[in-house]
Amino acid sequence: MRRLPAALLYALAWCVLTHVQTARASDADMILAYARALRAFNPHLSEPRAVRWAQTVIEEADAQALDARLLVALIAVESNWRPRAVSSAGAIGLGQLMPATAGGLGVDARDPRQNIHGVAVHLRGLLDRYASSGPAQRYTLALAAYNAGTGAVARFRGVPPYAQTQAYVRRVIGLWRRLAGEAP
């Protein structure tokens, strides 16, 4: 099957998620809208699996006081919602958790639901770590640390000068803004 261009996928997911947010949809409608967005990123997801993961994303986002669209964006950038993704560095699963990070969080990175939980808890911890920064800088630093590690962010006193990390932060924040219906 031919893959759709990323811009088209992002546009489709944006339409789904911004509509459900502004429509004040019921919980079931919101879960189905998120499931459609996940399937836009990974068309190979079955509808039942996408629904389960969408429900998990919403529950974990609520539990960690995060915007669920941020979790959707982060995982879309990390793995395109492919549960068996493994990076060349050894990061595993939907949120590309490193084995040591997953172990520290007490999750099995290969289990999609646990991976989503781990991503949410890890991101919440990073946001708390950079809470003294301004709101925009806080998210930028947390995402840079998610990608390059807290040591690199500390060493460079901000986003490391790694092209990959800088592009990663821009992609996650840009997609999050599009999913939230904001101008890029």
- Long-range pairs for 144-153: beta carbons < 8 A, 24 or more residues apart: 144/168, 144/169, 146/74, 146/122, 150/126
* 126: nearest Cα among 180, 169, 76, 174: 169
60 is catalytic: no
Task: Name the β-bridge partners of 92.
Answer: 86, 97
Residue 97, classed as helix, strand or coil, is strand
Task: Please give the Cα distance from 97 to 109 (Å, whole number).
Answer: 6
Catalytic residue among 47, 59, 78, 182: 78
The DSSP H or E segment spanning 113 is: helix 112-129
Tokens describing residue 60: 């974990």
- Tell me if 111 sits within 8 A of 51, measured CB to CB: no
- Tell me if 130 sits within 8 A of 141, measured CB to CB: yes
Question: What is the set of active-site residues?
Answer: 78
